[in-house]
Amino acid sequence: MPGNPLLRGGAAVAWALGLGWPAWAPAAAAPAEPPPAAIATLPAGPQLLREVIAGLPQEPLQIKARLEAYNRLDDLDKVRLAVMDLDWRGGALKADYNLTDAFGGPLARLEVRRQPDGALAYTAYGGPDVKPMAQPDLSRPLAGTDLTWLDLSLSFLWWPGARTIGTERVKGRPCYVVEVPAPAGAAAGCAAVRLWIETQVRVLMQAEAYDARGERLRALRVKSFKKLQDLWMVQDLEVESYPSRHWTLLRVVEVRRGGRLVSGAGAPAAAAEPLPALPPNAPVGR
């Protein structure tokens, strides 16, 4: 089928995963770091990650999403469905992710738990019978899409060793740039992730994954925002793989907050409202 120019280039839609990643430039080498004296004046990387975690919703969420995978010609390749049960209360992490085909047939499942010592424990299920598997590769694309367990779980927010390496602007917003090395064995092929954290409200604006040579593996971007009661969330999230330029759109179709339906079919209508201090529904080019 022909590519949809609205998905690729322009009209913003709305946002819902609690965090977000706006527009990426084409694949490029990692930006140069500023002088050490300038870096020394910036907030420490671990502190910034703690502040992002502290801003996550403090009641359980269930998010249902549709994943549409496209080739580099923008032809629809695959459709998958995801259900995410998330609980970040108190800075902990308890999350279950289920991936199915377009008809609801199970494909993969991941359970993530933060242990008392701070380490993350993963239990993965997959294969034709969705049976328990060995330690999952968090950076492996899922079921023909460009999304990985690393993208869905945001596990890098709990990784140690983060360091702030500079500042840049994303969609006109000032951001701290934080680099987080991947723990040994956590994500095969992914050596580090680079995060752009807004300097005032401490939300994640952008993320990239790199290999050991500093080559970009994957880019994530947010298409737009949506307000659910007092909570701003991501509605459409796009992930692009390099060098293939294959890409996947994750579109949220339903959100339950503390068991209450707040977005999706049958939910109370929400009044349109611009995101405070951020560009409301700004189109994002690819």
More confident residue, 110 or 222: 110
Q: How confident is the model at residue 18 (pLDDT cuts 50, 70, 90)?
A: very low
Domain assignment present for residue 4? The answer is: no
Q: What pTM does this model have?
A: 0.77
Overall domain count for the chain: 1
Does the residue 272 lie in any domain? no
Does residue 74 fall inside a structural domain?
yes
Q: What angle do CA 273, 240, 161 make, to 5 degrees?
A: 85
Q: What is the mean pLDDT of residues 56-77?
A: 93
**Which comes out higher in pLDDT, residue 55 or 167?**
167
pLDDT tens profile 247-267: 999 999 999 998 889 888 887
Q: Does a structural domain hold residue 277? A: no
Q: What is the pLDDT of residue 225?
A: 66
The answer to whether position 271 is within a domain reads no
Pairwise CA distance, residues 276 & 109, whole Å:
36
What CATH number has the domain bearing residue 191?
A: 2.50.20.10
C-beta separation of 211 from 190 below 8 A: yes
Domain range for 60: 19-261
Among residues 224, 250, 244, the alpha carbon closest in space to that of 69 is found at 250
pLDDT digits (tens, 9 = 90+) for 224-236: 667 777 777 778 8
Q: Is residue 281 part of a domain?
A: no
Within a domain: residue 276? no
Mean predicted confidence (pLDDT) in 154-175: 90
